[in-house]
Structure 1
Amino acid sequence: MSESVLIDQAICLPAQEVEALIKGQTIATIPRMFIDPGRQFALYPTNTSTLSLPLEPYYNANLQKIAVNNVARVNSERVLIKVWAKCELCQILDDTEPLDVLSKSTIWSKEALKEVLLQYHYIFLAYLRVYELDKPIEVSITSTSQFIPLSQPTIVIEPKPVFNDRTFAQRKHQLENRQPPLHPQLEELQSAIASLTISQPAAKQLDDDIKVFLGWSSDKLIKLPDPDLAWINDIAKLGDRSIEQDDKKTNYQAGTDFENVVRDSLELLGFTIDYAHKGGAGGLDLFCSKPYPLFGECKAGRKIPNDTAVQLLNLGMLRRPDLFSQAAKLIIGPGEPTTQLQDAAKIQGMAIIKPETLQKLVKLQSNHCNSVDLFKLKEYLKAGQSDEEIEKYIDQIYTDINLRSQIITAVKELSEQDNETAKATHPSFTVTEIRVHYNATHNPRLNDEVVHDLLIELSSPLTGYLGRIKGSNWNSDRFYFLRDLLVN
């Protein structure tokens, strides 16, 4: 739709149905009259419904709570219109329609659909493609008519659909074929957390993720910065006082702040911190007990003192002589270590890294949860200066994530091509088809076995980037696109 659109009328719909259309929970409504396909109009939320039934039996369980909340919000004197729609299809259904099947494919209960048939003898099921308005329209009209004129018509230059073309085509196909929800348990979970999304950012992120997975939203999953993790951006600054902005901070306070942020960093990476060791005068800065023993010494300043390796050796042997010799040992501090410190660290098997390197590692873990394998990380903690080795590990992780993102993109591109040519609405593809499409534009070339392993990983319920239709053997499995993997 490239031409401008004039919106000069609105259809009056129950507020809960308008909200469900906006949220992507449905693409259909039940008007009181037939709507010609191609007709365009704003969606006016009202307190009234098509029927005189209470909300509880009117909508399916997952929508009831949302329905009550939205009816309570509607002010009969002044209403904000947020979206407009284009009717893509309108079906006329009679008493031969299996209402139990229709109910499972829509937001209405079987009892409500029976009541519509009883009152009107037909059910008009309108499929609506919904678009956001650049600016809400405030109206003060109250009317019992199905359509009302807008006193202030608006012209839409660049339509902003709730769904992209591919997602809407899938949803339309599912409804036309009366396909029930694929994941009813997830719909129940989404309904349960809906009321928490305003006050709790974590619930909002989970709600967004679930809606994309269910196909209620075609937005890419964008991970918003977590305000509770803002400290990650200060790791390097707290460790390297040459870039420290607070010059009034004492050496003792600077050291304590850096020790604390290192403990937070290692915990986020997955280590279990033993808080019996909290540094201070004559104390061991940090000890991690799981997944393997790790002893650490933190030095905030402009460079690491020469005796740091000896200090870590003495404190480690004093506190935990039973573990120290076989444990991982880590010194974290700024600047280039002297030859004396380097030699001592190599003899004692101690790795030295800069605060900047720790910050990169923690930021990677924050952006891509559980991407850092602590046992693999241990292999890169080489005796002496280890920044280059850790950088290699970070680069390898990003390479692995990029590969998976490219495989997902290959499946997505195949889906979009299939929609354009065959008008398929829920396309899926074999391992070979995906491998051929991937290899046409990417290096290194992959074989079917490698691609299948990656597809199985990406279609796991714990990742959910792809869906899988299991075949009789691994080579007959089929996969389809669900959501993007953004590389941060």
Structure 2
Amino acid sequence: MSNYVLINTALRLPAADIEALLQGRMIAAMLDMFIYPGRQFALCPADASMNLLPIEHYYHSGFLPVAQTSLAKVNAETALIKAWARCELCETLNDMKSLAALSSLTIWTQEALQEILKQRQNIFLAYLRVYYLPIAIQVPVKKNSQFVALPQPVTVSQAKPVLSDRLFAIRKHQLETRQPPLHPELEELQSALASLTITNPAAKQLDQDIKGFLGWTTEELIQQPDPDLAWINNIAALGDRSKEQDQGKSNYQAGTEFENIVRKSLEFLGFTVDYFHKGGAGGVDVFCSQPYPLIGECKAGKKIPNDTAVQLLNLGTLRLQSQELFEQATKLIIGPGEPTTQLKDAAKVHSMTIINPETLEKLVKLQTSYPNSVDLFQLKEYLKVGQSDQEVEKYITKVNQDIKLRSQLVQLVKKYLENTGFERASVDSLHGAFSATSFYKLQPQEMHEILIELSSPLTGYLGRIKGENWRRDRFYFLRDLPTPEI
């Protein structure tokens, strides 16, 4: 079959059924007639009048909110077509005993299937391979039959399948053999999340992760900016500021804003900020007690004053009330510009680290993109005495490279299973495929350790079936790990 297809007909289905197909929730449609495999058509949403029962009885309760929403969008005069499909198989069902199993694998209730079979004597079940259109098209509504002619032929492609070849083959086999859902509890959880995904980014991410785990979709969720994290983009700006920017603000107010965002940043990275030390005149700007003591001095403006190191030394010694604690603490100066030679010399004498606000912002953005990726003990090793921006940049690059390697391994498992048709893969087979395609050098046991990490319940990018020893472990794909932009 060529990559491009010309279609001139559309299959009318209730909008709720098409939504389930687009979500990858099911791969089947119920038709009025038998159709031969290979037939291709657009998917045209219709209202619920095609159904023989009210939607409350027609669809599973968990799918009902989705059904109601999609059916409410149906226009009486025009229909918006988002996808096309190819029939891979068409079954004729006339046995009441098989309907319970079919119901568990689709959105339709057993009651609805029984009523259809009772009235029509046969259920024609089409297995559909669904593809997105590059651009949705609008067509006039026609209600004369289930198949209708399009106003003009449409050229479509297979560039955007709802399900990958491998996932579709698995789902088709499951439906043909009437194998029960593997994770009904997760399907219930996904249904419960449906009403939250519109307004809650966290619920939307979890919803997409569950769909990926269930094999309902191969679409990767496009991350939307979290409005609660907008402050992250202001870290550098609040540190590197000018008098023009601060018109109407005192130096004290400008400095306090920067202190506050530095505390918030360090807390976001995983430090425990002691708010007993809240800066101000004669106070320590920031003190963190865990996972190791850190004392900081924040300077907003265009450059860091020369006496900052001495100021941090005096205030830290005075306010911490423990010379031993001060000596053990990581001493951090955060401020804009290139430190003077005098300041760098003083920082070296007193074992202090100097970084720019831009560097702190990069660390926080890394933690935002990949939660818990910043290891504070590893970071400590890069907080060298003197100006340390380049060293911290090295740490950020290292973390990104580590994530990139893990992302490649996740994709390796995914592609290996798709290409071979296997359900799971061994370390040795994955290592062979990896060595042939990647510039990274890994020993099989090193790869196994990373695969174990990626299959942890706390990460959940891969799944693992434990073997008698590490070489007999088997891994399978669950969800994508986005590749960092380096």
Regarding TM over 0.5, the answer is yes
Provide closer, same or farther for how the CA distance between residues 34 and 202 of structure 1 changes in structure 2, counting only shifts above 3 A.
Answer: same
Partner residue of 1:475?
471
Contact 1:32 1:50 (C-alpha < 8 Å) held by counterparts: no
* CA–CA separation in structure 1 for the residues paired with 2:465 and 2:94: 34
Within 5 Å, give how 1:84-233 maps onto structure 2. Answer: 84-95=84-95, 98-143=98-143, 145-156=145-156, 160-233=160-233
One-letter identity of the residue aligned with 2:471: N
Provide closer, same or farther for how the CA distance between residues 410 and 157 of structure 1 changes in structure 2, counting only shifts above 3 A.
Answer: closer
Partner residue of 2:398?
396
Within 5 Å, give how 1:424-435 maps onto structure 2. Answer: 424=421, 427-435=423-431
**Secondary structure of 2:31's partner?**
coil
One-letter identity of the residue aligned with 2:138: E
* CA–CA separation in structure 2 for the residues paired with 1:280 and 1:100: 70
* CA–CA separation in structure 2 for the residues paired with 1:230 and 1:210: 27
**Secondary structure of 2:62's partner?**
helix
Q: CA deviation at 1:147?
A: 1.6
**Secondary structure of 2:2's partner?**
coil
Q: CA deviation at 1:453?
A: 1.6
Contact 2:52 2:116 (C-alpha < 8 Å) held by counterparts: no
CA-to-aligned-CA distance 1:412-459 (integer Å, 9 cap, x gap): 2312321xxxxx3x5311111111111223345323322222112112
One-letter identity of the residue aligned with 1:203: A
Partner residue of 1:17?
17
Contact 2:354 2:386 (C-alpha < 8 Å) held by counterparts: yes
Contact 2:463 2:475 (C-alpha < 8 Å) held by counterparts: yes
Partner residue of 1:278?
278
Within 5 Å, give how 1:403-482 maps onto structure 2. Answer: 403-418=405-420, 424=421, 427-482=423-478
**Secondary structure of 1:151's partner?**
strand
* CA–CA separation in structure 2 for the residues paired with 1:202 and 1:136: 28
Contact 1:221 1:484 (C-alpha < 8 Å) held by counterparts: no
Contact 2:91 2:124 (C-alpha < 8 Å) held by counterparts: yes
* CA–CA separation in structure 1 for the residues paired with 2:440 and 2:10: 54
Provide closer, same or farther for how the CA distance between residues 131 and 417 of structure 1 changes in structure 2, counting only shifts above 3 A.
Answer: closer
Flag as ranges the 4+ runs of structure 1 deviating above 6 A: none
* CA–CA separation in structure 1 for the residues paired with 2:418 and 2:471: 23
Contact 1:79 1:140 (C-alpha < 8 Å) held by counterparts: yes
**Secondary structure of 1:30's partner?**
strand
* CA–CA separation in structure 1 for the residues paired with 2:182 and 2:329: 49
* CA–CA separation in structure 2 for the residues paired with 1:409 and 1:137: 33
Aligned positions, number:
481
**Secondary structure of 1:61's partner?**
coil
Contact 2:209 2:479 (C-alpha < 8 Å) held by counterparts: no
Partner residue of 1:421?
none
Q: CA deviation at 1:27?
A: 1.2
* CA–CA separation in structure 1 for the residues paired with 2:154 and 2:439: 49
Q: CA deviation at 1:104?
A: 2.2
Unaligned runs of 5+ in 2: none
Provide closer, same or farther for how the CA distance between residues 111 and 23 of structure 1 changes in structure 2, counting only shifts above 3 A.
Answer: same
One of 472, 480, 483 as aligned partner of 1:484:
480
* CA–CA separation in structure 2 for the residues paired with 1:16 and 1:246: 53
Q: CA deviation at 1:371?
A: 0.2
**Secondary structure of 2:173's partner?**
helix
One-letter identity of the residue aligned with 2:462: L
* CA–CA separation in structure 2 for the residues paired with 1:432 and 1:221: 31
Partner residue of 1:303?
303
One-letter identity of the residue aligned with 1:455: L
Partner residue of 1:53?
53
**Secondary structure of 1:471's partner?**
coil
Contact 2:354 2:387 (C-alpha < 8 Å) held by counterparts: yes
| TM-score (norm. length: structure 2) | 0.89
* CA–CA separation in structure 2 for the residues paired with 1:432 and 1:155: 44
CA-to-aligned-CA distance 1:85-121 (integer Å, 9 cap, x gap): 1112112233176333322222223333333332333
Partner residue of 2:362?
360
* CA–CA separation in structure 1 for the residues paired with 2:238 and 2:388: 20
Provide closer, same or farther for how the CA distance between residues 444 and 145 of structure 1 changes in structure 2, counting only shifts above 3 A.
Answer: closer
Is 1:386 the counterpart of 2:388? The answer is yes
Partner residue of 2:334?
332
Contact 2:239 2:258 (C-alpha < 8 Å) held by counterparts: yes
CA-to-aligned-CA distance 1:13-52 (integer Å, 9 cap, x gap): 1221111112221111111211211112222222336653
Contact 2:52 2:115 (C-alpha < 8 Å) held by counterparts: no
Provide closer, same or farther for how the CA distance between residues 298 and 221 of structure 1 changes in structure 2, counting only shifts above 3 A.
Answer: same
Partner residue of 2:321?
321
**Secondary structure of 1:195's partner?**
coil
* CA–CA separation in structure 2 for the residues paired with 1:26 and 1:200: 25
One-letter identity of the residue aligned with 2:458: L
One-letter identity of the residue aligned with 1:413: K
| Greater alpha carbon shift after TM alignment, 212-221 vs 43-52 | 43-52
* CA–CA separation in structure 2 for the residues paired with 1:317 and 1:176: 74
Provide closer, same or farther for how the CA distance between residues 473 and 115 of structure 1 changes in structure 2, counting only shifts above 3 A.
Answer: farther
Q: CA deviation at 1:144?
A: 5.5
CA-to-aligned-CA distance 1:42-100 (integer Å, 9 cap, x gap): 22222336653333443333312212222333243443232221112112233176333
